[in-house]
Chain A
Amino acid sequence: MENERTRIATDMHDDLGAGLTRIKFITENISDKTNDENLKPDMDKLKSSSNELVEKMGEIIWAMNEKNNTLEDLVFYLRSYAVDYCNENKLNCDFTVPASIPETLVSGQVRRNIFLVLKESLHNTVKHAGASKVSITILAGKQFVLKVTDNGTGFEPKGYQLGNGLLNMEHRARAMNGTFSVSGIDGTGVRLEIPL
């Protein structure tokens, strides 16, 4: 059953990836053939849209791949994503991992959810916080803890609507039998804690 799922996913992944790539290249061909500056913003959107989709597919496939199932694989994947994303968005990134990581296995579902929580909180920091620095800490004992704190504007706890994907993050935490909390003093901090 697992193998069948993986095979279907791999085929989809390859076909969709190839299709999206074609779209990107055809868009470039159109760009080359026209001098119309009005078309440029939409072309750029097409290109970045298809690149984004390819990236998202890659993320799904990474989580589904059973070969990436150790806690160590997860931690370093998170680190790699975070430093790359922060670098692209001119955010100073401080990433702390435990000195030694337990040899625990983590299911694809959990890996995907944890990754998405990290992704969502970093996107929020870039979009809303007006921050220059973000600190990410991972702890791995009996519980897996992910803390993401930025030095941005923070928010008023009373007036804060759980928008900005925070509801999403809370759902993901609960799906993993974990907890999710957020604080808005001295910047914005999110904390995800799940049992391993």
Chain B
Amino acid sequence: MAAITVSIVEDLQEVRESLENLIMGSDEFLLLSSCANAETARLQIPKDQPQVVIMDINLPGMSGIECIRKIRDDCPGTQFLMYTIFEDDEKVFEALEAGANGYLLKKTPREKIPEALIEMQNGGAPMSTHIARKVIKSFQQRNHFNESNSLLSQKEKEVLELLAKGFLYKEIGDQLHISINTVKQHIHRLYEKLHVSNRTEAINKLYGRK
């Protein structure tokens, strides 16, 4: 299997270097670039076209969220993984709406990071209860959640609702008779639809539609 190409955007030196060492020390990954701010990333990443970008949210100058907005369209094959301290942060949700495909907590033990990256490549993503509740509210506000106007499949709605009620992946899997892996893949698709929902609203606003 070919190595997964990765770029890093992180301003804290210890954190950035730790990630660099981790990625470079593994045959499963290939480090293309490592940036300490969004301004550099904005120019470098579209040149490199990595498969995964590990992006810090709080960057000096332009934020990680703004950076994603600006380069996402230039990097169609790239997935953005937000590297964040807090799981229930407003900013994590904003990043997801702006186009991030998942998030990774900075407290994640180093050994578990490679598996999180591979999981994302394979179409899986995590979601906390808190984020699930915000995702539902977001879809509801845009009228993309109810019966007649739903962007989501039945299963996706069910997974999202159970997540929002504080269920573990294992509990959700048991209740819906699907594997934990399938739960994570539904979440991945939920994030993609969140992007679509966000865009649709933006376009509607632009054209003065309701």
Which residues of A come within 8 Å of B, CB atoms? 13-14, 17-18, 20-22, 24-26, 28-29, 51, 54-55, 57-58, 61-62, 65, 67, 73, 76-84, 87, 95, 97
Contacts and interface: CB of A to CB of B under 8 A. Distances in A.
A28 B17 CA distance: 11
A20 B153 CA distance: 40
Nearest to B134: A67
Nearest to A48: B107
A35 to B, nearest CB: 17
A81 B106 CA distance: 19
A17 B14 contact: no
B130 A21 contact: no
Interface stretch (B28-36, B142-150, B161-169): B161-169
Contacts of A24: 106-107
A76 B14 contact: no
Contacts of B17: 29
21 contacts: A14-B85, A18-B12, A18-B58, A18-B85, A21-B15, A21-B106, A22-B12, A25-B14, A25-B15, A28-B110, A51-B107, A55-B107, A79-B165, A79-B166, A80-B128, A80-B130, A83-B168, A84-B168, A87-B168, A87-B170, A95-B166
Contacts of A97: 165
Residue from A21, A73, A82 having most chain B Cβ neighbours under 10 A = A21
A22 B90 CA distance: 21
Contact of A73 (B12, B110, B133, B170): B133
Interface size band for B: 20 to 34
B93 to A, nearest CB: 10
Contacts of B119: none
Given A14-B58, A61-B86, A76 B165 contact: yes
B171 interface: yes
A67 B88 CA distance: 12
B107 A76 contact: no
A80 B171 CA distance: 11
Nearest to A17: B85
Contact of A54 (B12, B15, B90, B107): B107
B133 A54 contact: no
A80 B166 contact: yes
B150 to A, nearest CB: 21
Contacts of A57: 86
A82 B165 CA distance: 12
B18 interface: yes
A93 to B, nearest CB: 9
Given A18-B12, A21-B12, A51-B107, A80 B86 contact: no
Nearest to A26: B14
A61 B128 CA distance: 16
A78 B164 CA distance: 12
Given A18-B12, A54-B107, A83-B167, A28 B18 contact: yes
Contacts of B85: 14, 17-18, 20-21, 54
B18 A29 contact: yes
A55 B87 CA distance: 9
Interface in B6-28: 12, 14-15, 17-18
B86 A58 contact: yes
Given A21-B15, A54-B86, A67-B90, 17 more contacts: A14-B58, A17-B85, A18-B12, A21-B106, A28-B110, A51-B107, A54-B85, A55-B107, A57-B86, A58-B88, A62-B88, A78-B166, A79-B129, A80-B129, A81-B166, A83-B168, A97-B165
